[in-house]
């Protein structure tokens, strides 16, 4: 049900752009108004979510520990998986953000005949996640050539590196293929594995379909259905400089691609994709495990009126004596 609903939603969004641009001629709406609204929603939602997490109280040190903590001098500490210093936390966060270390260490288990508990290798998920995120990053940086004039040198260098195979004309970008393969794998894995399919919701399938449609529309524009790059850049520069104008003859496929990007940006802050910002504010990752080295006092403690046992006994002494309960003072 979740798969069909998410797929039909994406198809409906694409159909709305096609009809809106091709039939109703609303190119300004889909080329200017919606992208601006999506960016504002993305920035506002992102800041709102980050501030909400930043305000959440974390009175205790609750880092996830996966190794030996700091202890006696002759016991070797695992300074990355169980850091006790700020430097260790920075190293752990760097490996987590750049290399997905916790996902690399992930395993899954299931019961076999016997009964027998079997742990299985889960590196394919790590590889797919790594390929997807870095491909998306490279593609995002490559697209800066549409929004900058002159184009920075590092963008040209990244393009040459990405297309060094020189297959076909125009040359095929490696990240385009990796992106599609990685997203397809993540979708198939979510469908094929029963346990993952059971816990999957439309919110899990929808971004995958949007990303897949986004990648396919970009590939179609580059390798099959050509678009006027100069007009696309004119539109992009106009959006960046706050002087928007929609040139004639860009083509409906570009507006579909742009609208899918806008949907992704608008959806981002209110979805699980917000792990992009949330990982930096996760107390299980960004805190050192130094509870035995430093005394941490809860800063949210406030004075409260307490009722001591002596006061309790003074208040109920007669009834306690009448009920046969022991008291510390008879009078």
What tokens appear for 71 in the block? 């202890």
State the Cα–Cα distance between residues 214 and 209, nearest whole angstrom: 8
CATH 1.20.950.20 placement within the chain: 2-300
170, 223 contact by CB (below 8 A): yes
Name which residue leads in pLDDT, 7 or 296. Answer: 7
**Tell me, which fold does domain 2-300 have in CATH?**
Fumarate Reductase Cytochrome B subunit (1.20.950)
pLDDT(132) > 70: yes
pLDDT(331) > 70: no
**Average of per-residue pLDDT across 39-43:** 97
Name which residue leads in pLDDT, 327 or 169. Answer: 327
pLDDT(225) > 80: yes
pLDDT in tens, 104-126: 888 777 777 777 777 777 788 99
The angle that helices 34-55 and 252-267 make with each other, rounded to 10 degrees, is 20
Q: What is the DSSP string of 281-328?
A: G-TTTSS---TTTSPPP-TT--------HHHHHHHHHHHHHHTT---S
Half-sphere exposure of 85 (CA within 13 A, CB side): 8
pLDDT(249) > 90: no
Angle at 80 between CA 78 and CA 81, to 5 degrees: 70
20, 220 contact by CB (below 8 A): no
Closest CA relative to residue 173, chosen from 149, 151, 145, 210: 145
Reported pTM? 0.85
* Radius of gyration, alpha carbons of the chain: 28
State the Cα–Cα distance between residues 19 and 213, nearest whole angstrom: 17
pLDDT(301) > 90: no
The whole-number pLDDT of residue 43 equals 96
Give, in order, the Cα–Cα distances in Å from 257 to each of 206, 210, 217, 220, 254. 16, 10, 6, 10, 5
204 pLDDT band, cuts 50/70/90, is very high
What tokens appear for 143 in the block? 């697209």
Average the pLDDT over each of 21-25, 83-87, 109-113, 239-243 and give the range with the smallest value: 109-113
> Over the chain, what is the mean pLDDT?
89
**Average of per-residue pLDDT across 152-175:** 82
Half-sphere exposure of 320 (CA within 13 A, CB side): 15
Q: Which residues pair with 107 in a beta bridge?
A: 121
The whole-number pLDDT of residue 168 equals 62
The whole-number pLDDT of residue 299 equals 73
**Average of per-residue pLDDT across 27-31:** 94
CA 54 from centroid of its chain's CA atoms:
17
323 pLDDT band, cuts 50/70/90, is confident
pLDDT(280) > 80: yes
What percent of the chain has a predicted confidence (pLDDT) above 90?
55
């Amino acid at each position: 049900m979740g798969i069909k609903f998410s797929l039909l939603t994406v198809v409906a969004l694409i159909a709305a752009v096609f009809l809106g641009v091709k039939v109703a001629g609303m190119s300004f709406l889909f080329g200017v108004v919606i992208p601006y609204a999506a960016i504002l929603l993305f920035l506002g939602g992102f800041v709102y979510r980050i501030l909400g997490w930043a305000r959440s109280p974390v009175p205790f040190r609750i880092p996830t520990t996966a190794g030996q903590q700091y202890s006696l001098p002759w016991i070797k500490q695992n300074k990355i998986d169980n850091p006790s210093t700020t430097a260790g936390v920075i190293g752990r966060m760097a490996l987590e953000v750049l290399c997905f270390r916790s996902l690399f260490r992930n395993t899954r288990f299931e019961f076999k005949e016997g009964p027998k508990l079997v742990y299985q290798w889960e590196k394919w998920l790590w590889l797919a996640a790594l390929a997807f995120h870095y491909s998306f990053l490279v593609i995002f940086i490559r697209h800066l050539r549409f929004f900058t004039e002159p184009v920075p040198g590092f963008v040209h260098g990244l393009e040459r590196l990405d297309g060094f195979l020189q297959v076909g004309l125009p040359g095929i970008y490696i990240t385009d293929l990796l992106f599609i393969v990685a997203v397809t794998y993540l979708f198939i894995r979510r469908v094929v594995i029963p346990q993952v399919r059971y816990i999957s919701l439309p919110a899990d399938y929808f971004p995958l379909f949007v990303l897949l449609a986004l990648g396919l529309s970009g590939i179609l524009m580059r390798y099959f259905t050509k678009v006027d790059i100069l007009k696309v850049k004119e539109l992009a520069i106009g959006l960046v400089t706050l002087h928007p104008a929609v040139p004639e003859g860009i083509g409906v496929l570009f507006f579909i691609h742009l609208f899918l990007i806008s949907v992704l940006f608008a959806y981002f802050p209110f979805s699980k994709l917000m792990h992009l910002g949330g990982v930096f504010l996760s107390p299980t990752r960004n805190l050192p495990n130094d509870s035995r080295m430093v005394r941490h006092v809860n800063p949210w403690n406030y004075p409260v009126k307490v009722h001591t046992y002596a006061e309790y006994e003074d208040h109920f002494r007669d009834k306690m004596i009448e009920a046969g309960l022991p008291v510390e003072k008879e009078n």
